Structure formats: structure tokens, C-alpha cells
Amino acid sequence: MAQRIHILGASGCGVTTLGRAVADSSAWPYHDTDDFYWQPTDPPFRAKRPPHDRLRRLFDALMTSERWILGGALDGWGDALIGRFDLVVFLEAPTDLRLARLRNREQLRFGDRVADRGDMHEHHERFIAWADAYETVSTGANRSRARHEAWLSELPCRILRLDARQSIESLSRDVQAAL
């Protein structure tokens, strides 16, 4: 039985939403890699934690339970966890759907701050451009399909690929069935 699940995909696929849904239905803790990768700032997502610090914090959080769900990208900094995964879920969605979700999410989170004259507008537009490049960027430093596929090909555990156009209920059932 899978007890340690890692969910990843391009930004806007619904990794966090699915992770929280599975965590709620299984009563397992959910952890988001962004909480370990980024230092708290306002505006958010401006300062990265040093790699050793984020990995230590993540290990400390995960080791409090035998069962957990971890959502978000780890490739490039969290490889020390690879042997601990029982199941990896890779969410996929078309770029237009992902970008629409991201724009909506950012508007809900930050309101006028991401609008044309808002203090987060430029950062927001750079974020959307970064997310838009997921399918076309090579395996360099940027998160990309190619980089994720290369990382997935090295994993020693089961990989479940899911279409993020499905309802969260359907996706959650698919993950539960894989458990």
C-alpha cells in the first residue's frame, strides 16, 4: 500500500488542490514544497531558502508521519527524498487551461495588487510567462515538461499520470484507487 505520495505537475495543473483533497479523504498530512522552498515575504515568492535549509525543513516535516502527501516540484533540490516515495502522481493539463487557472487564482489571492497598476503586476506577468513556457523550455534551470519527464524517468516507484481536466473528485478517486 502506498503511504508516501508525491504529486507534481506544471503550475496551474491543480497539484495543491488534488493533494489537499487526497489528504482530506485519507486523513494524512499534506505538505506543499513551496512552503519549504520560499521564505515568507510580502509580496510572496521573492526569496528562496538555501537548498540545505529547505531540505532540512522538509525532512523534519515529513518524518513526523509514516503516511503523507507532498505536492509540488522537487526536481533539482529534493532528490534525497526519491527513495521515500511509494507513489508519484504526475498531473497534466493543456497550457491554456493552466494559465486561466493561474490568472484566476492570482486574482483571488491578490486582487488589485496584480492589476495593471498594482505593486505585484510585473511579478505576476513574469510568473504567467514562466508558466506559459513549461511545454517549450528545455531541461535547464526552469521548471519544464522536459525536466519533469527526465526526473520521472529516474524514479524507482510507481508513477500515475492523470489528466487535470477531470474533476477533482475523479482525480482524487484515481489516487485513492492507486493506494
**Are 48 and 68 within 8 A, CB to CB?**
no
- Asked if pLDDT for residue 48 goes beyond 90, the answer is yes
Percent of the chain scored above 90 by pLDDT? 82
Asked if residue 115 is part of any domain, the answer here is no
In a domain, 153, yes or no: yes
**pLDDT attached to residue 179:** 84
- C-alpha distances in angstroms, 148 versus 3, 27, 32, 67, 112? 22, 28, 17, 24, 33
Residue 105, in any domain of the structure: no
Q: Is residue 45 situated within a structural domain?
A: yes
Joined together, the cell numbers standing for residue 54 give: 529547505
Query: What is the pLDDT, as a whole number, of residue 75?
Result: 80
> Does residue 102 lie within any of the structural domains?
no
Whether residue 108 lies inside any domain: the answer is no
State CA 26 to chain mean position distance.
19
Average of per-residue pLDDT across 98-126: 96
Has residue 164 been placed in a domain?
yes
Average of per-residue pLDDT across 153-172: 96
**Peptide bond preceding 44 in cis form (omega within 30 of 0):** no
> Is pTM beyond 0.85 here?
yes
Question: Model confidence at 89, in pLDDT bands (50, 70, 90)?
Answer: very high
Strand 68-71 vs strand 4-9: parallel, antiparallel, or unpaired? parallel
Which residues span the domain enclosing 85? 4-94+143-178
Q: How far is CA 16 from the centre of its chain?
A: 6
Residue 172's closest CA among 13, 6, 22? 22
Q: Above 90 in pLDDT, residue 76?
A: no
CATH of the domain at 85: 3.40.50.300
Number of domains in the chain: 1
Q: Does residue 79 contact residue 155 with C-beta atoms inside 8 Å?
A: no
In the prediction, which pLDDT does 139 show?
Answer: 58
